[in-house]
Amino acid sequence: METSVLCAIHQPQYLPWLGYLSKLDAAELFVLYDDTDYKHDEWQNRNRIKLPGADWQWLTVPVHHSKNELIRDIRIDNSKPWRRKHLHAIDTNYGSAPFFENYRYELAALYHQDWDCLDHLNAAVLKLLCRLFAITTPTVLSSTLHYSGRATDALISICREVGADRYLSGPGARTYLRTQDFAAAGIELLFHDYEHPVYAQTGNSPRFVSGMAAIDLLFNCGPDSTALLRSGRRTTPHPQHSEKTS
């Protein structure tokens, strides 16, 4: 019997949110798309943490960048004290969270290291988060693969390179993926829709603030975090595939 492999592909992110980790957890192989174009001030070098009220703030890693650079080539601007500022912001805003001390030491250890490449920092952050959330999906860098093309063609080529016959996409890709090309390639297309769990957050706001960095869940919910993370997962097949197999 042939082995079926579900693959997800995504750019490395800094302190990713729950939906990112959920897609990684749902996949059987996760490809970090590190040799695609870097997009400044999206999610590759920044993410959000919650403030005590209903607001949030960005934690941004300053970088040196120019047009058309690849993610793997981006260097961090260490002339700015970003590590100290980020750790201070995390300590200030989550210090009173019920499970802050459970995770603070290991997270702080990352900020006490020297980082030159954004790619290496994001990989280390992701490795730590996967361990804390008990996510065991293997990861591979796209830059280590022999694939071709761009956009949809690149995704299909990567799937073929890693032996995947199913591709798990984020919901936003419904608007730009050439879905018929996946069907033609014999690759089942699935979409990972994420319904953000609601939980008690530290602070004085009665309103839940979703979409924060995944450390928000860890600091607030501790050992219940993995179950809450997985509770929001919704995976649906693309209609073209459903029609063919119904």
Is the distance from CB of 45 to CB of 77 less than 8 angstroms? no
Beta strands in the chain (DSSP E): 6-10, 29-32, 46-50, 56-60, 63-64, 75-76, 139-141, 166-169, 188-194, 233-237
Number of domains in the chain: 1
Indicate the average pLDDT of the chain: 93
Q: Is the pTM for the entire model greater than 0.75? A: yes
Please indicate, yes or no, if residue 134 is contained in any of the structural domains: yes
Angle at 217 between CA 210 and CA 101, to 5 degrees: 140
Percent with pLDDT over 70 in the chain: 95
Please indicate, yes or no, if residue 44 is contained in any of the structural domains: yes
Domain that holds residue 120: 6-245
Please indicate, yes or no, if residue 1 is contained in any of the structural domains: no
pLDDT bucket at 245, cuts 50 / 70 / 90? very low
Please indicate, yes or no, if residue 139 is contained in any of the structural domains: yes
Is the distance from CB of 32 to CB of 55 less than 8 angstroms? no
pLDDT digits (tens, 9 = 90+) for 43-78: 999 999 999 988 999 999 999 998 889 999 999 999
CA distance to 149, 180, 199, 224, per residue, from 38 (Å): 17, 27, 33, 34
Query: Which token pair is 149?
Result: 């093309």
Interatomic CA distance for residues 220 and 200, integer angstroms: 7
Please indicate, yes or no, if residue 146 is contained in any of the structural domains: yes
Q: How many CA atoms lie within 13 A of 59 on its CB side?
A: 26
Please indicate, yes or no, if residue 128 is contained in any of the structural domains: yes
* DSSP code string of 153-212: HHHHHHHHHHT-SEEEE-GGGGGT--HHHHHHTT-EEEEEEE-----PPSSS-SS---S-
Interatomic CA distance for residues 182 and 241, integer angstroms: 10
pLDDT higher than 70, residue 242: no
Please indicate, yes or no, if residue 75 is contained in any of the structural domains: yes
Please indicate, yes or no, if residue 79 is contained in any of the structural domains: yes
